[in-house]
Structure formats: structure tokens, C-alpha cells
Amino acid sequence: MVETGVGLGRLLLALDTTLVNLIEAPRGLDLPVASAALLDTDDVRLGLAAAAGAADVFFLLGISPADAIDWLAGQARQPVAIFVKEPHPSVVARATATGVAVVAVEPRARWERLFRLVNHVFEHHGDRADPLSDSGTDLFGLAQSIAERTRGMVSIEDTASHVLAYSASNDEADELRRLSIMGRAGPAAHLEWLGQWGVFDALRASTDVVRVDARPELGLRPRLAVGVHRRSPDGRRAAEFAGTIWLQQGSQPLADDVEDVLRGAAVLAARIMSRLAATPSTHTVLVRELLGMAGTEVDVAAVAGGLGITADARAALVAFAGAPPDVLALSAGAFRADAQVTADDGRVYVVFPKIGAPGSVTSWVRGVVAALQREMGLTVHAVIAAPLTGLADIAPARTQVDRVFHSAQRHPGAIAQVSSLDDARTTVLLDEIVSLIQADGRLVDPRIRQLRDTQPMLADTLAAYLDCFGDIAAVAEHLHVHPNTVRYRVRRIEKLIAASLDDAELRLLLTLSLRATR
């Protein structure tokens, strides 16, 4: 949840008819919206949709008309609007009767693209008529200004060709523009042609404007493009490619100085992207404070108030490694609308301020990990801290979760792909103890160092003997040798270290020293 927002009308203008069309707005278009949530059939079926009551707009994913009507009827606080693909007349009638606006979503649009764009509008698309609005972080405003100045249609993309912002479209928008905005791949033949002719290479290599001819056989109109290159703050490193501004031409001729305009726009876009990268949104700042990343004492009640969530309910924290933040935000928002998501140092943290049984969180995590493996080929690891007594426990839990990941990095495979803090505690504590011993050579028994250096086979036998609690048969099976061979080696070890392995304290010391020198 964020503290600021925009009017519903401005949100729809930013998204444009390429993605959405307003069906009904019984309370007008001036109502402020600042938060979005997703609902799918499982939310309704499992009774999780009731947790979503704090959001202003909802995306209804694959929910039947009957379930949508029942969900609307059960909301104590009616949302400002619902976004639906091909809304059924019965849903429209029920929504408008309760004052809820209905917005139709283009059926080919990808929900994750729409979710990302809506949140970008909430955080960075100010009211250009408001002198206090920060136009320096408004890529949508920049795109519209370029379009008005050049008489074309503009889209601004990141390095992965994801659309960050775009200007209003008209009926002259070609298929490539519409598909790009909707998050779908453009015509394969056209993209292949762009690559063959070095268009993408040229955009990355220089700040020159690139002209792309029309492809009538594909229904594609001519385009101009310019790369956005972001300089380092200290000016010492070479400019970094940050994205592309695309300008599609319609029936009107473009402005005579269109290339100058695009070059100037690329400079402005680079500044805006730098500001966005350097200045996180209010929402991100608050979530990072909640996680204890700000380095200062946290006023949990104030942070919870800023995020619009409860502070003293049973909560949960889940951290992921190897997962895309946008995809996790989409899934977490569908699971619980009050989920708070942020990324840091290669990990994604998801806070659930209010949960029921912890098992439901674990089931969601396992489902997400499995889906990312199945759909995207990603191997994702997750650590769960639940239940927590309230948001005050989130920051300490995040510290413990990070310890699990650090241990997993040092010992791949030692911790399960989906683990709880309780499950990982023994592995983590032992790993940290061994790490302390490794850092101070004085804590390693010198007899183990000598055994490692001169008799590595005996050192491996001793490690197996200690791990198997002295069970000769188990050690023999582990080492693939005869039990008498194990007995002989144990006698040799006791002679070399001049001590009996019956001593419990000695066994503990040797075990730690063996692990520290492994």
C-alpha cells in the first residue's frame, strides 16, 4: 500500500485504451486510488478474498460471474473499481449498483504487465497540473510530451524490452505497438528482422536516432528509436544502456526536428530512470523500514499506519532467492492483498501482516516455488518465518532468515529448497560455529590438521566414525570397506592422536575440527 495515489480517471488515461476501456463509473472518475490487488478463483474458493478489503482497485483473474457477484456482495468496504477481461453484464450491473466502477481489460493483455504499470502509475505518475507534483519521475508524462511534440506515438522500454510507459494511442497504432504494451511478443518475423539489421546493437552502442522502415506485409508502420544511456553519478564509468524510446509514426508527418527531440528525450529519460533507481517509492521505504533495513530504530505502529496494515496480528515473513520480484509481487498480491513485497541483494522479501494457519503460507510458498520451476525453469529457494506475533517481529525474523541463506550459500544442498526457521536452525547454528572455528586457527585441534595432512584416508574414516556414532557396520557400509578394516583404522587413529574415542568431549572437539578443516 502507498500513501499517495491518483484519480481513477488519470489512471485510466495513463493506461490508455490499448489496455483498458471504462464500462461504468457510477461515482465518477475523481475518486483517488492508491493500491491494487489481484483475486483469482482460489482466493474465492479458499475464502482468502476477504483479506483483500483494503485495496482500491481489484483485478479479477478468471473468476466466474457468479463468484464475482458473491465477492462484491461480501465486501464491507466497496472498492473504487474492478478490472475484468470481458466483463459479464450481470457483474457490471451488480458493481454499478453498489457504486463500483467497471473497467474492461484487453483480453490479450498480460495481468503481470498491467499490475506493474498500475503500480508504476501510483508511485510515479503525478498530476501535471499540480505544481507540487514531481515531474522528474514521471515517465508517462515524458512519453506524452514527446508524442505531442513529434506527432507520433511513444513507448519507453527497459533493457529487456518491457514497456515502462507510453503515450496515448489511436486507431493508427500498429500490432507491434499494441502487443508490446500488452506484454505480448511482437511478430517474430519483425523482431528477427530488427536483430538481423543490427537495430538493437545500434541502440545499445550509441545515442544516434535509428530509423526503422515500415513493413507493409506485416502491417507495421515506420518507427524511430533512440537508446537511453545512463551515466554513473560520479561520471567515471562509461554510460550504461538503460532502455529505448520508440516513436511510431501514424498518418501525420513527424516534426521536422524529431531527431533532436528524441535525443533530448533520451537525456531526460536517463535522468528520470536514475532518480527512480536512486529514490525508492514511499511504499518501498516503509517496507524496508519494517524489515529493519533502514539502520535506525523502527516505529512499527507508524510504519504500519503508512502501509495501511495491521501491526499486532499474527504475521509471517517469507524470503526467496532466485525469483523475479515482479512475478512474486503478482502471486503474493493474489494470495493476500495486504502482502508487502520488496527486493534487496538478490532476495525478495514478502511480509504477510495478518495470516491464519501458518500451513496456508507454507502451501502458498511451495506452490510458487513449483510454479516457477515448471513455468520458467527457475530453481528458487525460500525460507519461512511463521507465525510471528506481530510486525515488531519482522525485522528480527529477517535477520534470522538471512542467516539461513548465508549458510545455504556456504553449503549448497544442506538446507531444503523450502525451509522454515525451525527446520534450518540446527544446520545454521552448526555452520556458524564451524565458521568461527575456521576463522581462528587456534580453535582447530592440531592433531586433526596433522591427520588431514599426513593420513587423509584416516581423517575420512574418523569423520564417518563420528557421524555414525561409532557404529562400525554403518561406517563400513558408508566407506564400502569390511568392518574389520574400520576397526583396524580406528585403532590406528587412537594411537596417532594418543587418546580414546570413548571420551565424549574429545569426540565433540574432533567433530568440530574435522568440519572446520573439510
Looking at the structure, tell me whether residues 360 and 469 fall in a common domain. Answer: no
Q: Residue 413 maps to which CATH number? A: 3.30.70
Number of domains in the chain: 4
Looking at the structure, tell me whether residues 253 and 193 fall in a common domain. Answer: yes
Q: Residue 496 maps to which CATH number? A: 1.10.10.2840
Report angle CA 77, 78, 80 to the nearest 5 degrees.
130
pLDDT tens figures, 378-398:
899 999 999 999 999 999 999
456, 466, 483 from 509: Cα distances, Å: 18, 11, 25
Q: Is the pLDDT of residue 265 over 50?
A: yes
Q: What is the pLDDT of residue 437?
A: 84
Q: Is the pLDDT of residue 32 over 60?
A: yes
Last residue of a domain, one of 418, 435, 452: 435
Please name the residue ranges forming H helices in 440-482.
446-454, 456-467, 472-479
**Contacts (Cβ under 8 Å, ≥6 apart) of 45:** none
The pLDDT confidence band at residue 235, using thresholds 50, 70 and 90, is low
Report angle CA 288, 289, 295 to the nearest 5 degrees.
105
pLDDT tens figures, 462-478:
989 988 998 999 999 99
Q: Tell me the C-alpha distance between 173 and 147, whole Å.
A: 13
Q: What is the pLDDT of residue 245?
A: 95
Instruction: Give the predicted TM-score (pTM) of the model.
Output: 0.52
Q: Is the pLDDT of residue 286 over 90?
A: no
Q: Tell me the C-alpha distance between 114 and 126, whole Å.
A: 18
Decide the pairing of beta strands 101-105 and 152-157. unpaired
- Look at 129 and 44; give whichever has higher pLDDT: 44
Q: What is the pLDDT of residue 192?
A: 74
Lowest mean pLDDT among 99-103, 243-247, 323-327: 323-327
Q: What is the pLDDT of residue 136?
A: 46
Residues of the chain with pLDDT > 90: what percent?
29
Question: Of the candidates 272, 202, 267, 257, which has an alpha carbon nearest to the alpha carbon of residue 228?
Answer: 267
Residue 132 lies in a domain: no
Domain that holds residue 421: 282-435
**Contacts (Cβ under 8 Å, ≥6 apart) of 93:** none
The pLDDT confidence band at residue 488, using thresholds 50, 70 and 90, is very high
Asked if 435 contacts 410 with a C-beta cutoff of 8 angstroms, the reply is yes
Q: What is the pLDDT of residue 18?
A: 81
pLDDT tens figures, 414-439:
788 999 988 878 877 787 787 788 88
Looking at the structure, tell me whether residues 450 and 406 fall in a common domain. Answer: no
Residue 173 lies in a domain: yes
Please count the CA atoms within 13 angstroms of the CA of 269 that sit on its side-chain side.
33
The pLDDT confidence band at residue 129, using thresholds 50, 70 and 90, is very low
Q: What is the pLDDT of residue 153?
A: 93
Last residue of a domain, one of 374, 404, 435: 435
pLDDT tens figures, 187-203:
666 677 777 778 888 99
Last residue of a domain, one of 435, 451, 484: 435
Asked if 431 contacts 413 with a C-beta cutoff of 8 angstroms, the reply is no
Looking at the structure, tell me whether residues 41 and 99 fall in a common domain. Answer: yes
Q: Is 165 helix (H, G, I), strand (E, B) or coil?
A: strand
Looking at the structure, tell me whether residues 398 and 325 fall in a common domain. Answer: yes
Q: What is the pLDDT of residue 262?
A: 93
Q: Is the pLDDT of residue 37 over 60?
A: yes
The pLDDT confidence band at residue 1, using thresholds 50, 70 and 90, is very low
Q: What is the pLDDT of residue 5?
A: 65
Q: What is the pLDDT of residue 46?
A: 60
Q: What is the pLDDT of residue 45?
A: 66
Q: Residue 170 maps to which CATH number? A: 3.30.450.40
For the ranges 118-132, 156-170, 182-196, the one whose mean pLDDT is highest:
156-170
Looking at the structure, tell me whether residues 75 and 27 fall in a common domain. Answer: yes
